[in-house]
Structure 1
Amino acid sequence: MYLSPHVYIDFDGTISLTDTTDLLLQHFAAPEWQEIEAAWERGEIGSQECMIRQISLLNVSPNELDCWLETIPLDPAFSSFVRFCEQLGFPVTIVSDGLDRTIKTALRRLGLTLPVVANHLEWLGETKWKLGFPFAREGCRSLAGHCKCSSMAETHGRRVLIGDGRSDFCAAERADIVFAKGKLLAHCRATGLQHLPYATFSDLQPTFMRWIADLEATQLRSQLSLTQKDKDHHHAD
């Protein structure tokens, strides 16, 4: 039997149907956040600097924020995909360059308990917030708040990445297989990274099942080949 794959799943635009940080800023931040976003889009600043500056513009109480987070639209098939992975014994980790508070609220809504590796949203009192980066890495190629490739590097065995955006580019190079949509799909096609396209978790699950079946078949063929070589060696003796 092969070593169980570790499944890493992005949050914004993958589990959530939109970029939740952008939605949050639209609702609760001063309008200057859009100028900062444009600078990031042009590649003038990294995502870490972008988000530090944007989060400092938030003006919302914790209670109001948490109530709003309950309304974020999520992929309706995500929960069943996680439970499918759990039945197979595949560990699942959420890896995001977004906000831990957003992700943990979403998981609570779904009744799921999963490891979350993301940037830390810290309340400063009243309606002010700041962003912390417990999973940043100096020298990160993507200048991200959370270096996903470092998080994935700690895994032994096969790595599966499910994502959609720029923060997944570096991590995709560490994965054995990438399930991709959006900008990540275009990146995989342009760079020749092994990938399978998907649109939602409902169509991803059967594709994932086929990949697992192929993995098992490859492993079985490898074992049979080794057994045959061992037999041939004994006959030669």
Structure 2
Amino acid sequence: MARVLCLDFDDTIVMENTARLVFERFAAPAWRDREADYRAGRLTVEQFNAAALLTVSATRDELRAFCADTVTLRPGFLEALDWALWNGWTPVVVSNGFDFYVDAVLDKAGVDRVARHAGRTRFDYRWQVTYLSPRGIELEAGYKLSYAAAFKGVGDFVAYVGDGASDIEAAKLARVVFARDALLRALEGVHPRVYAFETFHDVIAVLEREAPAWAEDAASS
């Protein structure tokens, strides 16, 4: 049984919503119409990101440079990765965002031993993105959920770290949840092990205090 620290990216690993910053800087105004469709429930987050990305005009190098220079890592993130690796946990990034900015930010931070799963982008006349499940199935909904289900399906012990509505269904499958904002509001008092956090120092403190007991519980069950 692996111990997986499953990490959302936007508003979690970084303080900002990187996709939104990209759209505000590089997308045509039509992206806001797609955002209205998403907020009204007519599009999933994956469909919204794909539709908004179609309106972006920039090179990959421009996008990578902008994202790497604009967003800020949440305090304690690098220390949390070190803790995980030293203590036998496997950190994994699972994001509905885009590979070009997840890679740019983590590469700049020197994070090279963490698996990254995000929308796979390509430029073919226009920017396009594909979301693939762990089995290689193209998805238009439930991208994060597909990874959480895969981890659970092989018996992994998953601690999920996230903040938003798109994290809720995936986080419900985790044994432990570290949550902020919409995710915290949805799961607090519902999930048996949900912990509020603002920095990754909060996450580390809980892991150091509680993880040994979690391991014993998992072994006994």
The two structures share one fold, judged by TM-score above 0.5: yes
User: Is the CA contact (8 Å cut-off) linking 1:28 and 1:59 kept in structure 2?
Assistant: yes
Give secondary structure in 1 for the equivalent of 2:89.
Answer: coil
Q: Tell me: CA distance 1:18–1:151, structure 2 relative to 1, closer, same or farther (3 Å).
A: farther
Q: How many angstroms does 1:33 deviate by?
A: 1.0
The share of aligned pairs that are identical, in percent, is 22
**Could you say which residue in structure 1 is the equivalent of 2:119?**
119
1:152, 1:174 within 8 Å by CA — same for their partners in 2? no
Matched, 1:180 2:165: no
- Describe how 1:39-188 pairs up with structure 2 within 5 A: 39-71=37-69, 72-113=71-112, 114-124=114-124, 128-135=126-133, 143-146=141-144, 147-188=146-187
The C-alpha deviation readout for 1:92-144, integer Å capped at 9, x for no partner, is 1101111112111111111112111111111226xx3111122289898x924
Read off the aligned partner of 1:70 and give its amino acid letter. A
Change (3 A) 1:191 1:36: farther
1:190 offset after TM fit, Å? Answer: 6.2
**Whole-angstrom distance in 2 between the partners of 1:139 and 1:186:** 30
Tell me how far apart the structure 1 counterparts of residues 37 and 216 of structure 2 sit (CA, whole Å): 48
Task: Judging by fraction of residues, say which structure has more strand.
Answer: 2
Task: In structure 1, give the amino acid aligned to 2:48.
Answer: C
CA distance in 2 between counterparts of 1:148 and 1:216 reads: 21
SS across alignment from 2:132: coil
* Match in the other structure for 2:5: 7
Distance 1:154 1:73, change over 3 A: same
Tell me if structure 1 keeps the 8 A contact 2:95–2:118: yes
Equivalent position of 1:22 in the other structure: 20
Matches of 2:182 and 2:5, distance apart in 1: 20
Structure 1 alignment gaps of length 5 or more: 224-237
Q: C-alpha distance in 2, partners of 1:135/1:217?
A: 31
- How far off is 1:32 after superposition? 1.5
Aligned to 1:232: none
Distance 2:173 2:8 in 1: 14
Structure 2: gaps (5+ residues): none
Partner residue of 1:206?
A: 205
Q: Is the 8 A contact 1:12 1:19 kept in 2?
A: yes
TM (normalized to structure 2)? 0.87
Q: CA 1:144–1:50 in structure 2 vs 1: closer, same or farther (change >3 Å)?
A: farther
User: Which residue pairs with 1:233 in the alignment?
Assistant: none
CA offset digits 1:15-74 (Å, max 9, x no partner): 010111001100000111112112111212112221121000000112211211211211
In the alignment, which residue of structure 2 is the partner of 1:36? Answer: 34
Match of 1:226 in 2: none
Query: For the structure 1 residues 158 and 145, does the alpha-carbon distance in structure 2 shift closer, same or farther, using more than 3 Å as the test?
Result: closer
Question: Which residues of 2 match residues 210-225 of structure 1 at below 5 A?
Answer: 210-216=209-215, 218=217
Contact kept, 8 Å, 1:180 with 1:196, in 2: the verdict is: yes
Query: Given that residues 6 and 155 in structure 1 are in contact (C-alpha distance below 8 angstroms), is that contact kept between their aligned partners in structure 2?
Result: no
Q: Which structure: larger Rg?
A: 1
